[in-house]
A and B are shown apart, each in its own frame.
Chain A
């Protein structure tokens, strides 16, 4: 289907089903139950899952296929956000032109940064991209204040022209982002017994765009272009002596992944129309590297898993505090309860980075292929278990 083979088609269908049913799947616990805090099915977080999924899918096209590790991809995310917000200020609150401009501007930006950075490879390439991103951050933070509004961040105001839209609503408020009238924040709430499910327009727009982005990534992976990128990673010398010019191929990969980052940035601004310089900081660049490696660099589904994993941790684990822990371990004798809570204390709440760091180390050491490799190992183990069981079953029959 869609020019994909059977395996890729079923992968695409599974991802589509998971994203479309996410409001159910991420809210397995009834409202008000003690486990409700593990629910991730609220619009804000679900939007972040798919937006960072797009960011990581794009990053994987560069890092996973060519092996060029960029430490500056957040710059494209930020550029995309600024472009989108400017579109909201000048044109209209419709997200479509904003997203298109975000992709174009970040693509042009990627051509310039990629052209210079790709003159070097390995660690020098990484350092160059990092330097560019930090320069962009510094520019956005101070020098380019007229464009970026400095440390306050770029926001929409009542005085913006919005030549195709309205400067302010009839009530005198700031208009909200929409797609041809459908507001991004509009949410349908479904009460099902004790459960509450939320279906948000913005989430479904992001999810649809992520599915298209994922489909395009599959096509790139299976194309002659994708094959050449893998050859760049494997042995650039051989590629040069096989008559291929590696440079335009890697630049194309860099620009494509920059455009994915810009798309993610544009969507971020579409969900919440403001853009700040901190989106370009090196920690944001590092986050997408973590996502891709954690999920499985060079695999199709890995980056999405990694993005979901990290965003879940960031938003859910950081909310667990000592009171919650005391609640869980209240069945233990007092002294023991305090002792266990004391031990777990550094790993929860604000300490979630510590837990994430440990998990990341474990994955890199024991599962170099990321979560995807973990999944494959479990699948193989289950298959072997089933095979040995069925052979045991057939033996007595003989």
Chain B
């Protein structure tokens, strides 16, 4: 039984069947990649996992509990963190404050009114936030205005925010989209390091095959809303069905 169990999930937008009977099992402490051509339903599937969308039918279980019908913040509090395709950070806040928010959310839960204590004197949170920034090599940028950073730095900051919540499952939506080669390689190294240091399961959606084959323990190929194959990376490479899905029918013949 995996940490994340998706069973029979269907999602329809008007006349478009975005997801058709998706079954997926993500084993604990592995990196599971979901790949597929454009419009295969990868992002829709991810949105169903974090509460942004609710599937029409089927079940999504995380550690034996259903996530369906829960709000994004509740699902996050269960232990699922998400990295977005374009980094979502608090642009108006400093780098340190960004991570502090995540630390407060981890410690104090979804809502706790602390209107009279000083945020910067909360030693527990400050220490943890600084530790997290050191882990992603950003401690020297702690006072920077988050919106003024490069895309690669924003991605690392978002990663630090997610990790400071100690998630059991980290969902990554094209973490290297639009990055230069060097930034992509840095991200791969960072993710490898995270995987080594922590008990964490990652579910990653990615177009860049270099990233997928550097990281994934297992790969699911999605095509037209349905899982085509699920296998080890080395078996995926030569699979004719996968080539067909990516290159179109004519390539197979």
> Contact residues of A with B, CB < 8 Å?
3, 5, 219-220, 222-228, 230-231, 233-235, 237-246, 248-249, 252, 256
Q: Bin the interface of chain B by size.
A: 35 or more
Q: Determine whether the beta carbon of B89 is less than 8 Å from that of A242.
A: no
**For A246, what are the chain B residues with a Cβ–Cβ distance below 8 Å?**
73
Interface positions, chain B 116-132, Cβ under 8 Å from A, are 116-120, 122, 125
Minimum CB distance partner of A239 in chain B: B101
Give me the 7 closest cross-chain CB pairs, A-B, nearest first.
A243-B76, A234-B90, A234-B92, A243-B105, A245-B110, A225-B115, A238-B88
Do A241 and B88 touch (CB < 8 A)?
yes
Shortest C-beta distance, A77 to chain B (Å), equals 22
Q: Which of B100, B110, B111, B161 contacts A227 (CB 8 A)?
A: B100
Contacts of B117 in A (CB 8 A): 223-224
- Contact indicator B93/A249 (Cβ below 8 Å): no
* Choice from A3, A219, A220, A234 contacting B93 with Cβ under 8 Å: A234
Give the chain B neighbours of A3 by CB distance below 8 A.
118
Contacts known (A222-B120, A230-B92); A241 close to B50, Cβ less than 8 A: yes
If A231-B90, A235-B89, A249-B111 touch, whether A242 touches B102 (CB-CB below 8 Å) is yes
Interface residue? B106 (CB, 8 A): yes
Kindly report which residue of chain B lies nearest to residue A67, judged by CB atoms: B92
B108 within 8 A of A: yes
Partner of A245, one of B93, B111, B119: B111
| B residues lining the A interface (CB < 8 Å) | 50, 71-73, 76-77, 81-82, 84, 88-93, 97, 100-102, 104-106, 108-111, 113-120, 122, 125, 161, 165
Q: Given A234-B92, A235-B91, do A240 and B73 touch, yes or no (CB 8 Å)?
A: yes
Q: Which residues of B contact A238 (CB under 8 A)?
A: 88-90
Q: For A252, what are the chain B residues with a Cβ–Cβ distance below 8 Å?
A: 113, 115
- Known contacts A241-B50, A244-B105, then 7 further A-B pairs from the complex at CB < 8 Å, ordered by chain A residue: A228-B101, A231-B90, A234-B93, A235-B88, A235-B89, A239-B73, A245-B73
In the bound complex, how far is the Cα of B76 from the Cα of A397, in angstroms?
A: 64
Distance in angstroms between the alpha carbons of A347 and B151 in the assembled complex: 50
Using CB atoms, name the residue of chain B closest to A220: B115
Q: Is the CB of B119 within 8 A of A226?
A: yes
Q: How far does the alpha carbon of A226 sit from the alpha carbon of B92 in the complex, in Å? A: 13
Residues on B with C-beta less than 8 A from A237 are 88
Question: Quick check: A241 and B101 within 8 Å, CB to CB?
Answer: no
Q: Which of B102, B119, B165 contacts A222 (CB 8 A)?
A: B119
Q: Is the CB of B101 within 8 A of A231?
A: yes
- A248 CB contacts on chain B under 8 angstroms: 111, 113
Contacts of B97 in A (CB 8 A): 227, 230
Q: Are B100 and A222 in touch, CB under 8 angstroms?
A: no
Q: Which residues of A contact B104 (CB under 8 A)?
A: 224, 227-228, 244
B contact residues around A5 at 8 Å (CB): 118, 120
User: When the two chains form their complex, are residues A243 and B119 in contact, meaning their CB atoms are under 8 A apart?
Assistant: no
Distance in Å from the Cβ of B127 to the closest Cβ of chain A?
Answer: 15
Chain B, residue nearest A247 (CB): B111
A-B contact pairs, 17 of them (CB 8 A): A5-B120, A222-B119, A223-B114, A223-B117, A224-B104, A224-B122, A225-B115, A227-B93, A227-B97, A231-B101, A235-B90, A240-B71, A240-B76, A241-B82, A244-B104, A244-B105, A245-B71
Chain A contacts for B114, CB-based, 8 A: 223-225
Bound-state Cα–Cα, A5 to B121, Å? 10
- A8 (CB) vs chain B CBs: closest residue: B118
In the complex, the answer to whether B116 meets A219 with C-beta atoms within 8 Å is yes
Q: Which residue of B73, B91, B115 is within 8 Å of A244 (Cβ)?
A: B73
The CA of A20 and the CA of B109, in the complex, are separated in Å by 43
> A239 CA to B90 CA in the complex, in Å?
8
B119 engages A224 (CB within 8 Å): yes
Residues of B within 8 A of A219 (CB): 115-116, 118
Given A222-B120, A230-B93, A249-B111, A243-B106 contact (CB < 8 Å): yes
**In the complex, how many angstroms separate the beta carbon of B178 from the nearest chain A beta carbon?**
18
Alpha-carbon distance A248/B97, docked complex (angstroms): 20
Known: A241-B72, A243-B105. A225 touches B113 (CB 8 A): yes
For the complex, give the distance between the alpha carbons of A240 and B90 in Å: 12
The distance in angstroms between the C-alpha atoms of A242 and B101, with both chains bound, is 8
What B residues does A234 contact at CB under 8 A?
A: 90-93
Residue of A nearest to B110 (CB): A245
In the complex, the answer to whether A242 meets B105 with C-beta atoms within 8 Å is yes
Shortest B108–chain A CB gap in Å is 7
Residues B93 and A231 in contact, CB atoms below 8 Å apart? yes
Complex CA–CA separation, A248 to B120 (angstroms) = 22
**Nearest A-chain residue to B97, judged by Cβ:** A227
**Smallest CB separation, A393 vs chain B (Å):** 32
Q: Note all chain B residues with C-beta closer than 8 A to A240.
A: 71-73, 76
